[in-house]
Amino acid sequence: MLAGKAYMERHNQMAGIIYRNMCAEYELETPRSKWETPLKVVENERTKILWDFQIQTDRMVMENQPDIVVVDKEQRKAVVVDAAVPSDGNIRKKEHEKLEKYQGLREKLEKAWKVKVTVVPVVIGALGAVTPKLEEWLQQIPGKTSDLSVQKRTGTAKILQDPQAPRPLVEDPSLEEKPPTEGWYWGNLTANEAKAILQDSPEGTFLLRDSSQRDYLFTISAMTSAGPTNLRIEYKHGKFKLDSVVLVKPKLRQFDSVVHLVDYYVQLSRSTDKAASNPQAVATGPNGTVQLLLTKPMYTAMPSLQHLCRIAINRRTQQTHHLPIPNRLKDFLTNYTYNV
């Protein structure tokens, strides 16, 4: 499980960027840094914004403390925003839960405040997956908040530092553990630093890092036959895909998370015939188009023996529920089903 402290940090960063964009839209003072806790109530003649505020109604409503409530006084409407960072496979369920959770509050607010109230769930998976409706939800929130900006600010990529991810998230702050540091995600690494790390590595060695360009979340740095090269990962409409030459782009596959993307190209690269003939397995390097091979991750630290064993099992079977092992070990295997 992801530690409660880590969950709350990611959750608050996601809600925080939405809050700051709201404040900017209504010309309200914004927190000076992303670490500063917003005020419970900010207000001017145009709007009132409530942050993590327990709302009292004439009759008790159990779910009465959403992340953000913004009231537009001029248009007589309000938006209830609640955020979550569940496991990638749970995003649709969590989105539905958020919608249902605040319907009682919505009805009470419409009656008491005489405004039209909209409930908006903002759900981003631990590995970056989103539902098809996220962009639509964000458009209903005052201020200019894009799905890409929310993902970047939440630090979704931090989970990639742990090769045992994805794991179910819990909201219990008492469940804390030391943040993991091993994995093939290197975080805020420059292109030159990545080149130096990969310089003496065999072809196919790769790492994942934050993109230095604002329009992209991640970049794959890999050793090719022409030397180290960088390939950006494009994120649009809730899907990840490689950024490549124009003629190849329409043929590129799209993925729900960046780990799914990397895992696919690793499996493709390990089958030499497929990689050589598949138009998706190419990248634009310094000397033109080169074959993209991703075969060996460059780890920031040596992974645990348990994780390496799990990868070895994943490469041989996906039917782990049939293995003659204890259920606890089956759960461990199903928490990470990738081959890299």
Q: And the tokens for 178?
A: 């030391």
Radius of gyration of the CA atoms of the chain, in A = 22
Contact 93, 65 (CB under 8 A): no
Domain 191-297, CATH: 3.30.505.10
Q: What is the pLDDT of residues 176-187, one digit of tens each?
A: 332 233 488 888
Rounded to two decimals, the pTM is 0.57
Closest CA to 96 of 72, 68, 131: 131
According to the CATH classification, is domain 306-334 in 1.10.750.20?
yes
- Give the model's pLDDT for residue 254: 86
38 vs 18: CA distance, rounded Å: 11
- Give the model's pLDDT for residue 27: 92
Closest CA to 253 of 229, 274, 226, 230: 274
332 vs 329: CA distance, rounded Å: 5
121 vs 117: CA distance, rounded Å: 13
Place of tokens 């310089």: 199
Q: What is the pLDDT of residues 193-230, one digit of tens each?
A: 999 999 989 999 999 988 888 778 889 999 988 889 99
For residue 289, list its beta bridge partners.
284
Mean pLDDT of 159-173: 37
**Domain-wise residue ranges, the chain:** 4-161, 191-297, 306-334
Domain 4-161, CATH: 3.40.91
Q: What is the pLDDT of residues 260-295, one digit of tens each?
A: 888 888 888 877 544 444 544 555 544 455 567 888
Q: What is the pLDDT of residues 88-143, one digit of tens each?
A: 778 888 999 999 999 999 999 999 999 999 999 999 877 677 788 888 899 999 98
Contact 4, 131 (CB under 8 A): no
